[in-house]
Amino acid sequence: MVRYVADRTGRFTQRPHYDPKELDRECEATVCSFLKDRHGTADYPISTDDLTVLIERDAESLDQYADLSGYGPDVEGATLFQPGRKPKVLISEILSATDNRQNRLRMTLAHEYGHVKFHAYLWDVEPPSPDLLKINPRANIQVCFRDKILDAAQTDWMEWQAGYAGGALLMPISRVRALVTAYCESRNLFGIIGQSDSHGRALIEAVRVAFDVSANAARIRLTKLGILGAASAGPSLFDAV
């Protein structure tokens, strides 16, 4: 169950602190239920079309061709929170209009859905005052920069949570662990695997292909789950015999 801690950013009096296991559990339940309702089965990778429909279900609107340049360089997504209403999701037209940026588009869609699912209610509980909105017109908007979509610092709690949720939606934990278990058992491996080792690179590639994400997204997901590390931390089962 989510617990609340003081919000040191000053945006709210208190903010939610999600254990990664909670985010994994909730994200997989959400995407699995959605896919089964829509297609009768939960197959992966989740399609870009399914991601957009999921957002449209839970947000007031989704604009995939938004001009976000006014928020600064490298802004690829934004969520506009509306007290008493569902939020609006904005995706940079640069992502949607460019074929070779589909991985970034998919991760940005999943990231913004993380804000919709885990953060929208905060604006109902503690909406910004009219005075605050005059001082800071962006108090209702979460602007998401390219370098924070995947792996923001934990001190930037909203971006970190949305980034983790985005990875968990695209790469559900039970499916990732099943893939990793099959790979490791067939090769008598256990313990943390170095991300630059041959097995680490192979796992990154396997996750990339299985879930239609970038290699960087696959690497970060495997690292956050404690499967990959800076270096291997255990011998193979074969070596232990």
pLDDT per position as a tens digit, 67-84: 999 998 899 999 999 999
Average pLDDT of the residues in 212-222? 97
The predicted-structure confidence for 116-136, as pLDDT tens digits, reads as follows: 999 999 999 998 877 777 777
Strand runs labelled E in 7-128: 14-17, 61-66, 75-82, 85-92
SS3 114: helix
Residues of the chain with pLDDT > 90: what percent? 83
* Adjacency order of strands within the sheet including 75-82: 61-66, 85-92, 75-82, 141-145
Reported confidence tier of residue 236, pLDDT bands at 50, 70, 90: very low
Among residues 11, 13, 7, 9, the alpha carbon closest in space to that of 136 is found at: 11
Strand runs labelled E in the chain: 3-6, 14-17, 61-66, 75-82, 85-92, 141-145, 193-194, 228-229
Task: Note the pLDDT of residue 234.
Answer: 60
Reported confidence tier of residue 166, pLDDT bands at 50, 70, 90: very high
Residues 206 and 237: their CA atoms lie apart, in Å, by 21
